Structure 1
């Protein structure tokens, strides 16, 4: 089926994935979060990330250099947390979600991401917020993870 020059499959792909980084986008997150979280037995952890210096990199070296920063972070998130649980939220903000994973393991994965990106001369701030499944409010969880990320930026 073709609608306005785009086939339905391509249109669906574009609505769910970030074209620069190749990971899922915020639209996919918003439509699928409840389905994704139903798989959690005990806990959910949000890992909110922000690329430091994207604006400056874009201005100094061009948008292709900035895109490489974004792609590097997206790749690390997908490798550590999975393609379907890693999202570009827009601009330089990213989110990864873990289901029923111990906090120390999530922290170790996050530390490894930071280390791998530092080797490429990229700097990222990460905020981690766990929640028990029975105390889950995704809006608050996202807000708290973002707040933790901003604190790590200081």
Structure 2
């Protein structure tokens, strides 16, 4: 129980002890309100503190295991495991419309080969950071090495397009280039079809990006 400055009504006394884990680190506080004389106070709390410490430790461990199973460690977005788990239910995750945004980070392979994997990791983290910044409330997943998929429920098509352009512009300012494909529907939605259309549009955008490099550099860059 937390309170600021003033004791809650009816609180006449409070006995509390720290809870420490097996490594000796503080993991919580165990307290009893209004202990009566003869209850033992701290002695009683100490007698059950180990059990509560183990409970806290097991709970933290459980949360960590769940997070590792669903969260991409590099970017903080949902991972492919969570994507495949969520996919069947996404058809019911909207009231009026659903948009799928498919994103590929251009040049990841070249960055890894030229500057090392630490630079490639930063490229992906920066991309994911901007995705989280612009697409708050979206279902956002990193589904592959350089690929991200977003599902945005109940947002007008023009608003989704605006966010896609804002994302691209913000990343270009960081010298990061992405290919984006988006498909929006307000009809009976087949998730696989929605995602496939967005993916095809992303690849069309990617071809256009590398065609421009071919014109400017005189040679085709390898797809990455």
TM over 0.5: yes
- Written as runs of structure 1 = structure 2, the 5 A alignment for 1:4-153 is 7-82=61-136, 85-132=139-186, 134-153=187-206
> How far off its partner does 1:83 sit?
6.1
Residues 23, 84 of structure 1: 8 Å contact kept:
no
Residues 47, 129 of structure 1: 8 Å contact kept:
yes
Gaps of at least 5 residues in structure 1 are none
Between Structure 1 and Structure 2, whose CA radius of gyration is higher? 2
Given the superposition, is the C-alpha separation of residues 47 and 130 from structure 1 closer, same or farther in structure 2, using an over 3 Å criterion?
A: same
Q: Structure 2: how far apart are the matches of 1:56 and 1:83?
A: 32
More helix by share: 1
More strand by share: 1
Q: Structure 1: how far apart are the matches of 2:88 and 2:154?
A: 15
Q: Structure 2: how far apart are the matches of 1:105 and 1:96?
A: 14
Residues 141, 148 of structure 2: 8 Å contact kept:
yes
Residues 15, 27 of structure 1: 8 Å contact kept:
yes
Gaps of at least 5 residues in structure 2 are 1-54, 208-224
Residues 58, 66 of structure 1: 8 Å contact kept:
yes
How high is the TM-score relative to the length of structure 2?
0.63
Q: Partner of 2:222 in structure 1? A: none
Is the deviation greater in 80-89 or in 42-51? 80-89
CA RMSD of aligned residues (A): 1.9
Any idea what SS the aligned residue of 2:143 has? strand
Any idea what SS the aligned residue of 1:112 has? helix
How high is the TM-score relative to the length of structure 1?
0.90
> How far off its partner does 1:35 sit?
3.9
Given the superposition, is the C-alpha separation of residues 66 and 83 from structure 1 closer, same or farther in structure 2, using an over 3 Å criterion?
A: farther
